[in-house]
Chain A
Amino acid sequence: MSTVENISATTPHLDRHERLSLTWGDPPGILGWFMTVNHKRVGKRFMITAFIFFLLGGLLAVLMRLQLSRPENHFLGPDKYNQIFTMHGSTMMFLFAVPMMFEALSVYFVPLMVGARNIAFPRLNAFSYYVYVFGGIMLWVAFVYNAGPDVGWFAYPPLSGPAFTPGKRADFWAQMITFTELSGLAVAVEVVVTVMKTRAPGMSLNRLPIFCWAEVITSLMVIFAMPAVMLSSTMLIMDRLIATHFFNPSEGGDALLYQHMFWFFGHPEVYIIFIPGTGIVSTIIAAFSRRKVFGYTALVLSTVATGFIGFGVWVHHMFATGLPQLSENFFTAASLMIVVPTGVQFFCWIATLWSGRLHFELPMQWIGGFFFVFLIGGLTGLMLAAVPLDWQVHDTYFVVAHFHYVLLGGAVFPLFGAFYYWFPKITGRMLGEALGKLHFWLFFIGFNLTFFPMHILGLRGMPRRIYTYPVEMHWGSVNALESIGAILMGLGVLAFIWNVFQSNRFGRIAGADPWGAGTLEWATTSPPPNYNFLDLPTVGGREPLWENAPDQPIVTGVREDMREVLVTRPMDAEPEHLTLYPSPTIWPFLTSLAVTGLFIGSIFTPWAVVWGAIPVAITLTGWFWPTKKETEEKKEIEVWENR
């Protein structure tokens, strides 16, 4: 390896483009669709699928708002209502929020932002998408056939246990968890390895884009949090299907064990959704303030701190379960402490905006919405961290208001900002300005109209998860107002969808870097070619497009006729070795089918775990087994270390 002064461009760019496209391309047609291992295609699928689930979850929310819009309404019966609020929560958390904020965005953008040609473990990446989408389809098909879960998005026993929920409803919920968490865990490993080992030379860890930091910290949280919910839902399904007694108090089990396991996952889950949002906020603020983000180190360390403290606050979801007061005090303190790193981030963002040259374009508008909405959610979070207040408003609409302010504020507002910001990169065209403004204002006003009055209803005692309420409670007019707000939000989302369809065909051509931003994804064309970068970049600063030297070296010597990539060292990203990424293959798809058979079969008979393991083993072996042709090619170029 050496840096040399050289006359390059001996091969014309067009020839190289053709060669690289051929190397990194997919086979044509429908088979090629199922064989792709390209992170951008898979990332786009994650994005579109998760957005469809967002629309479906939103549709359920509108149904609930219609039902609650006036007292003693019988538009939906109690059984349907139970299914609908459970499906709304489960869809939004497991099929939209995490797959969108974590999987979709990191799969698409992290490899681009670190200057790589693909994500690490590309076949696993394809597999994780199929597993996710099959899990989501299973849950929704069950719902359509009146077998949707009806025990809340967290499915507490004893309600979800065999005694109180016979039938298969809760089993579909439990297996949906297995599908989606398997998918999330696979992507977590891919993202960590992509960031730690395949950054462009020069991108030492202290130059890693903040968005990538956010996704790596999220990945680590996924790795340590999601096993807990996979286990708790598996134990639940075992209690239901093979008569184990984990959560059955009459046989030495304990229902609270489930709550501990669920929330040991469930609270980190909130940060798994929110931390990517902070990464988006930092990215967009830097781009539109035209300066590097203020307090890079403080921002990164705050995110790390949030990641750690996020694992120490789960009991605040269980304050009303009668735990010892000493432990409640501890968890109150931890829950208050987590405000500190979030506060540090807020001040860094304000300082960046204050000292930069602000360009208030569409993405920034959503960041403004984020500040307003998330701050209110954070403040009610402080209130709920205190045990006495939590007891007072537990299971009321105050809590519903709080977590919608936090989750939509912390995730959906930054996410829409991210759509406006990165849509030009993904499609090559800008989203329309007028529809963009209409979308924002309808959504922002509709959101506050829907959820702010819920604080008041909650304080006035309206409980969650009731399908209707009597006239004498005088909750009717406020509920009617909230329902109007929900319709405004829905119209806002329709404006967005219309904007996407319009702009995708007729929008203004974006060019490589329409915002003048500084991170590497803007160094390539929009949309990026299947090999991402014609010249593999090196990096001379945190915002390479702003800071690189005019004669910044490019990486050469990586083969372009094979899927060769450069692997670098974890800390300082010095070039370390070369490796080959796999070609398109059908095996991940076949494996996901086998896994789906096993998971769904096990809802109906425990023997599915045994017989279902055989096709899984066969497809995994097919996945692993090398082809003769590729092996011969690889052998020709291989160089062993220390030989």
Chain B
Amino acid sequence: MGEPLIRRRELYVGDLPTIVFGHRSLIWWGTLGMMAIEGTMFAIVIASYFYLRTRISNWPPGLMPPALKYGVLNSIWFLLSVVPNQWTKTIAEKGDLQKVRIGLVVMTMFGVGNLVLRGFEFTALNCQWDANAYASIVWLLLGLHTVHLLTDWFDTAVLAVLFFTGPLDGKRYMDASENSDYWYFVVLTWLPIFFVIYIAPRLL
């Protein structure tokens, strides 16, 4: 079909990169959106915890506060995990296949440690969820964080397998970098939650 030749100005973008990291990538924005949603959830559960505190005179009502040992150990483990997490993120952005493999395996192992300690944390809460409203909200808070821990651990494990088996292209390195960002979210939300579950009942 003979289209007439038309004189138009063009904005040529064909030489722009396709693999970018951090806030330039769409997946970073998507992860940020998820963090905003889930961060709001954590904030509302924490607010509910303190709201329920105002409804009753002694806290925790008729129960011992959660035992500290596993919660403290898990917090230390979480804080330590930041080091391999940042390393994995940095090398993912350099596209170093061998080192990303090591980083993802290490992070998967770290996650296993967190999950095992989390299992013990549930046994050390000194309450069952159906004991009273305090017990319910403590279980909800720890349970909700565990869901995030579990999903990010699963993500990391799947990514680790993919980096060994392929198929691989540059976008997967973007995923590895964002996976590290999400792990930061899991760690950073844990700190206030740790404070609420373990310290608040001793102070209030």
Binding site for B on A (CB under 8 A): 1-9, 12-14, 120-121, 185, 188-189, 192-193, 196-198, 201, 223-224, 226-228, 230-231, 235, 238, 242-246, 248, 251-254, 257, 260-261, 264, 538, 551-559, 566-567, 575-580, 617, 621, 624-628, 631-632, 634-635, 637-641
CB distance from B92 to the nearest CB of A (A): 12
Chain A residues, Cβ within 8 Å of B129: 242-244
- A640, B33: Cβ atoms closer than 8 Å: no
- A640, B17: Cβ atoms closer than 8 Å: yes
Q: B128-139, CB under 8 A of A: which get 1 and which 0?
A: 011111111101
CB distance from B111 to the nearest CB of A (A): 15
- B158, A253: Cβ atoms closer than 8 Å: no
| B11 closest partner in A (C-beta) | A553
- A1, B12: Cβ atoms closer than 8 Å: yes
Query: In the bound complex, how far is the Cα of B40 from the Cα of A231, in angstroms?
Result: 10
Query: In the bound complex, how far is the Cα of B51 from the Cα of A228, in angstroms?
Result: 14
Query: In the bound complex, how far is the Cα of B78 from the Cα of A337, in angstroms?
Result: 45
Chain B residues, Cβ within 8 Å of A13: 1, 3
| B54 closest partner in A (C-beta) | A254
Chain B residues, Cβ within 8 Å of A627: 167
Query: In the bound complex, how far is the Cα of B29 from the Cα of A235, in angstroms?
Result: 29
Chain A interface helix/strand/loop/mixed: mixed
- B20, A638: Cβ atoms closer than 8 Å: no
- B17, A578: Cβ atoms closer than 8 Å: yes
- B55, A3: Cβ atoms closer than 8 Å: no
- A257, B48: Cβ atoms closer than 8 Å: yes
CB distance from A540 to the nearest CB of B (A): 11
Q: Which of B3, B19, B51 contacts A641 (CB 8 A)?
A: B19
Query: In the bound complex, how far is the Cα of B62 from the Cα of A519, in angstroms?
Result: 64
Query: In the bound complex, how far is the Cα of B12 from the Cα of A2, in angstroms?
Result: 5
| B41 closest partner in A (C-beta) | A227
B65 on the interface (CB 8 Å rule)? Answer: no
- B44, A231: Cβ atoms closer than 8 Å: yes
- B33, A9: Cβ atoms closer than 8 Å: no
Also in contact, A254 and B12, with CB within 8 A (given A197-B26, A223-B40, A577-B20): no
| A16 closest partner in B (C-beta) | B3
Size of interface on B: residues with Cβ below 8 Å to A: 63
Q: B18-48, CB under 8 A of A: which get 1 and which 0?
A: 1111001110011001101110110011001
- B29, A575: Cβ atoms closer than 8 Å: no
CB distance from A238 to the nearest CB of B (A): 7
Q: Which of B14, B24, B48, B51 contacts A557 (CB 8 A)?
A: B14
Jot down 24 A-B pairs with beta carbons below 8 A, ordered by A.
A2-B12, A8-B10, A9-B6, A12-B3, A121-B30, A189-B30, A231-B44, A238-B136, A246-B48, A246-B137, A246-B140, A261-B48, A555-B13, A556-B10, A556-B12, A557-B12, A567-B24, A575-B13, A575-B16, A578-B18, A624-B158, A626-B172, A628-B166, A640-B18
CB distance from B130 to the nearest CB of A (A): 4
B168 on the interface (CB 8 Å rule)? Answer: yes
CB distance from B113 to the nearest CB of A (A): 21
Chain A residues, Cβ within 8 Å of B15: 1, 557, 639
Also in contact, A638 and B19, with CB within 8 A (given A189-B30, A254-B133, A624-B158): yes
Also in contact, A7 and B134, with CB within 8 A (given A227-B37, A235-B140, A634-B170): no
Query: In the bound complex, how far is the Cα of B167 from the Cα of A578, in angstroms?
Result: 21
- B8, A252: Cβ atoms closer than 8 Å: no
Chain B residues, Cβ within 8 Å of A189: 29-30, 33-34, 37
CB distance from A505 to the nearest CB of B (A): 29
Q: Which of A223, A246, A576 contacts B37 (CB 8 A)?
A: A223
- B11, A201: Cβ atoms closer than 8 Å: yes
Also in contact, A554 and B8, with CB within 8 A (given A235-B140, A244-B136, A628-B167): yes
Also in contact, A197 and B29, with CB within 8 A (given A252-B132, A253-B52, A257-B48): yes
Q: Which of A185, A231, A554, A637 contacts B11 (CB 8 A)?
A: A554
Query: In the bound complex, how far is the Cα of B34 from the Cα of A188, in angstroms?
Result: 10
B95 on the interface (CB 8 Å rule)? Answer: yes
- B10, A193: Cβ atoms closer than 8 Å: no
- A254, B29: Cβ atoms closer than 8 Å: no
CB distance from A588 to the nearest CB of B (A): 15
> Which of A13, A246, A248, A264 has the largest count of B CB atoms less than 10 A from its CB?
A246
- B33, A1: Cβ atoms closer than 8 Å: no
| B40 closest partner in A (C-beta) | A227
- A578, B13: Cβ atoms closer than 8 Å: yes
Query: In the bound complex, how far is the Cα of B133 from the Cα of A3, in angstroms?
Result: 64
Chain A residues, Cβ within 8 Å of B162: 625-626
Also in contact, A640 and B44, with CB within 8 A (given A251-B132, A555-B11): no
